[in-house]
Amino acid sequence: MDKYQKFLEEPRKVHKDGLLSYDGVRYGVPWQYSGKEVVVREKNDKIEILYNNKVIAVHDKHYRSRSTVFLKDQYKGLKAAEGMLYPRPKAIKLFSLEVEKRSLSLYESLSEVTGYDRSRESQTTS
Q: HSE of 22 in the Cβ direction (CA atoms, 13 Å)?
A: 26
Q: What local confidence, expressed as pLDDT, does residue 84 receive? A: 67
User: CA 38 → CA 19, 54, 112, distances in Å?
Assistant: 11, 10, 69
Mean pLDDT for the stretch of residues 42-67: 94
Band (79; pLDDT cuts 50, 70, 90): confident
86-98 pLDDT per residue, tens: 666 677 777 777 7
Q: What local confidence, expressed as pLDDT, does residue 7 receive? A: 58
More confident residue, 121 or 16: 16
pTM (predicted TM-score): 0.62
Is pLDDT at 83 greater than 70 in this prediction? no
